[in-house]
Amino acid sequence: MAKSHRETWLLFTVLSRSRLSFFLDLLVKVKQVLKGNVLQCYKKRLEFYFGLTLLELLIVVAIIATLASIAIPNYTNALYKSEISLAIGDINFLENEIMLYRMDYGKLPDSLDDIGRGNFLDPWGRPYRYLNFDNVKGKGKMRKDRFLVPLNSDYDLYSVGKDGKTATPLNAKISYDDVVRANDGGFIGLGKDY
């Protein structure tokens, strides 16, 4: 394994001066490794990399804060959209259950308890609202569009949304986040999108 001095000299002449010091350092390290002094070989390098300056730490914290300020709003927006999608799916499900009840009994249920869904909660932990128009006198409690025309002709089914507040007309600001059934089931979505 040992090379002659002539081969070593030939190798040194090929290398440039800047690479020569690197090569000599490498030879010393290889020699120390072969002797079994691995820790001593890398001791200086490890001492150099173990410490972080305050400036480096502040830069890392600033980068993490910047990434968090970008990611958290995107995450909350995606979570809100998934909650809306879940509420739309639930209203579709409840609408199908109501239609099955209508087919079996020839009338609409008086409440969601009649179909066994009285404790069915929306994604925000509140019960879905159901109003059978056969049990209502006048149009006062019916959900209405911006022209104050009832959304449905048979029944209303909706979630009061994230804020838990609602008003009969959809053009009220507190009704914008309500997930509603409209056009007798032709539309299910946010009140502000209707």
Kindly report, residue by residue over 10-38, the tens digit of the pLDDT: 555 554 455 556 666 666 666 666 665 55
Name the nearest CA neighbour of 122 among 162, 92, 155.
Answer: 162
Give the class (CATH, top level) of 59-193: alpha beta
Range list of H helices, the chain: 5-14, 17-35, 38-50, 54-105
The token duo for 71 is 């990611």
Q: What is the pLDDT of residue 106?
A: 94
CA atoms of 192 and 19, how far apart (whole Å): 70
CA–CA–CA angle 189, 143, 183 (5° rounding): 55
Contacts of 150 (CB under 8 A, 6+ apart): 139, 142, 143, 144
CA atoms of 156 and 158, how far apart (whole Å): 7
Kindly report, residue by residue over 90-144, the tens digit of the pLDDT: 999 999 999 999 999 999 999 999 999 999 999 999 999 999 998 888 777 899 9
pTM passes above 0.75: no
